Chain A
Amino acid sequence: MNKRYELMEREQELLEEIEESIAKGGDDRHGGDSLYGFCARLVRTVPQADDGFRKRLGNRLVAGMREGAVHKEDQGVSERSKGWRVPSLRRLLPQALMPVTHLGWAALLLGLLLTFSAVGYAVAPAVGRLFQQEAGLQHVEQADLVQELDLSQTVNGVTVTLERAYADANRIVVGYRVEGPKGRHYDERVTLTEDDTVFPMTTGFGTRGQSDIYNVSLPPGEGAYVLSFDASPVEGAPEELDLRLTMELREIVPPTDTPDSSPGSSSDPAEPMVVELEPMPQEDVVGTFAFDFSVPFIPGRVAEVNQTLEAAGVTMKLERLVVTPSETRAYLRFDPPTEVETSWTSIVTLKAPGERKSREYFYAVADDSPVHIYGFPASLYERRGEWTLTVAELVGTELVPPYEDVRLAGPWVFRFRVP
């Protein structure tokens, strides 16, 4: 037996306690501060669905089963147009709704109508605090690499303030606030461009109102957000980027006539199944905001690795590593041979010089064979010397029924120097 996996006696006891705790629904006889007490606390902290949702979905499944074509008919229920349930009120990571050219033209035309006022604005702590939530952004914040912008525009009673921006060879980050009347909900479709170049959005997060988790307290009707965009389309190493952030803001108007969801929820098959259809919320366009701004560009360090390894019958190439103050990216190339079309991703870890532990990748910038780009948002900019990137395993999902998972164990271990 692999000694690494041999469980110590105490761990075995813990496993047994876990089983017991789960079976008893969170019995806390060991006290809240003990490890067992903590497990019991975890067991007791179980989110519960809205009963109406549970019943409606159950009815929908049964009705669909009877019709024999549930999923083919609806192609899923989330934010799609069948309108049988209320979709998310606010997506934290909105995708551009229209082609960029449309947005660009819309911004240009609507921009003439906007009440545009770039005003000096004291940096609210909310966006700054959001920058503290991720190691890479925390570093650029501490290194004073963030460009303060404080550009505000007001359209139809809603003010958007583009507070700050940062750009390096891996990503461009913007932080902004949206202020509207209390009780209103908005959805932003954000596009970042430089001339004809569009930067795809990669990650983002934000908060509205009060968040005890991040110690951010905003007045009602106000939200703060941070979005990251893929900067790899930037060519060369310009001193700065001249960017345009276009934001189409829509107000989400909840349905005014929501049917009672409680009837028709019986699981008795003798009763006719009634699928409650809730009206979709409306989206009213508030306006389009367009911010033009410049931000210094940090080119980062590029290690051209071009190492090729083979394991499990798969040839894998680590082409390069791009290290910037906010993130490190690994560019891998592999395309395992398969009989059926398969989507591949991998389990990748990176160890920089002086680090005690490897770190797992945070997100995939691209994960479509043969190009796989993995991002590690962390402060590794000053690390020089021998790095190790390990691909432990390839994980594939077949794209045809029965959608089996395929796993190919490596490892592929790349060792290389980053100057």
Chain B
Amino acid sequence: MDPKQERALLKRAASEPKALQALYDHYFPRVYAYTSYRVGRAQDVEDIVADAFLTVVDKLDTFQWRGKGSFAAWLFRIVRNRVSDFYRRGRGSEAVVPLEDLPDLASGALSPADAFAQKERFAHLRRLIETLSPRRREVVLLRFFGGLRNKEIAELLALDERTVASHLCRGLKDLHRRYMDEVKREVHDEQAV
């Protein structure tokens, strides 16, 4: 979204439903995807996403525009706080979430088998991401699923932008290495059978 357009929408969002709806439509998929990777279970994701957006609307008048990306950083600060609250209340933990409880993936009409395979892929990636250190995990998730730029992530996490870039690269390399290790192991197991 163009920063000027976003700023104009933000000015009107407290009083114009259309402006609020446009902001919501733009950010909802990103918030949902990020929260899904953090929390897993679709019902918990919905709880947190709803709570976060309600907070956003409630506190919109306190938001101060500080340039491009400042709203995204503010929004995701609220989302991250909600996720932290969720874990602080002793929910979720390192939960093993059954596949049927995970959110669906973005796709068109799928056969049940394909939908299942997609969920398996999501569960697998999510589990890999959970093996990263909390900071690297956060950077990867905010970049890939929150859709935040490195600069916005740096602002959100109070890090240097180069540090964010470094965490992103190294986090991805770690993930890829672990992913390939698992692929090789699976191939080896199949050959053994």
Contact = CB atoms under 8 A, between A and B. Distances in A.
Interface string B144-181: 11010010000000101011011011001101100110
A66 B14 CA distance: 9
A15 B165 contact: yes
Contacts of A367: 88
Contacts of A39: 172, 176
A50 B28 CA distance: 12
Q: Is the interface of A mostly helix, strand, loop or mixed?
A: mixed
B174 to A, nearest CB: 11
B82 to A, nearest CB: 9
A1 B51 contact: no
Nearest to B129: A42
B186 interface: no
Contacts of B42: 50
A355 B49 CA distance: 39
A195 interface: no
Given A7-B162, A61-B57, A95-B90, A22 B168 contact: no
Nearest to B144: A42
Contact of A38 (B32, B57, B175): B175
A302 B143 CA distance: 42
Contacts of A50: 42, 46, 103-104
Interface string A60-95: 111011100111101011110000011111011101
A49 B50 contact: no
A78 B48 contact: yes
Contacts of A2: 162
Contacts of A15: 150, 165, 168-169
A210 B116 CA distance: 12
A213 B121 CA distance: 10
A214 interface: yes
A267 B57 contact: no
Contacts of B106: 46-48
A7 B64 CA distance: 33
Contacts of B165: 5, 7, 11, 15
Contact of B46 (A49, A66, A205, A360): A49
Given A14-B169, A213-B127, A205 B93 contact: yes
Given A7-B169, A46-B145, A405-B158, A57 B47 contact: no
Contacts of B169: 7, 11, 14-15
Interface string B81-115: 10000011111111111111011111100000000
A6 B54 contact: no
Contacts of B17: 62, 65-66, 267, 269, 273
B6 interface: no
A99 interface: no
A242 interface: no
Contact of B54 (A49, A70, A92, A360): A70
Given A64-B54, A76-B51, A211-B99, A49 B134 contact: no
Interface string B8-43: 000001111110111011001100110011000111
Contact of A201 (B45, B90, B134): B90
A38 B28 CA distance: 25
A78 B54 contact: no
Nearest to B125: A45
A22 B150 CA distance: 13
Given A45-B105, A208-B98, A92 B92 contact: yes
Contacts of A219: none
A46 B105 contact: yes
B96 A76 contact: no
Nearest to A10: B169
A269 B176 CA distance: 46
Given A11-B166, A71-B58, A58 B14 contact: no
B179 A209 contact: no
A407 interface: yes
Q: Return the 6 tightest CB-CB contacts between A and B, nearest first.
A: A78-B47, A71-B58, A47-B36, A47-B103, A88-B43, A269-B17
20 contacts: A7-B169, A15-B165, A33-B180, A39-B176, A41-B125, A45-B125, A50-B42, A50-B46, A58-B21, A70-B54, A72-B58, A78-B48, A88-B41, A204-B95, A205-B94, A205-B95, A211-B96, A211-B99, A360-B134, A363-B87
Given A15-B165, A133-B94, 12 more contacts: A38-B179, A49-B32, A50-B42, A57-B49, A61-B57, A64-B54, A77-B51, A89-B43, A93-B90, A203-B93, A205-B95, A397-B81
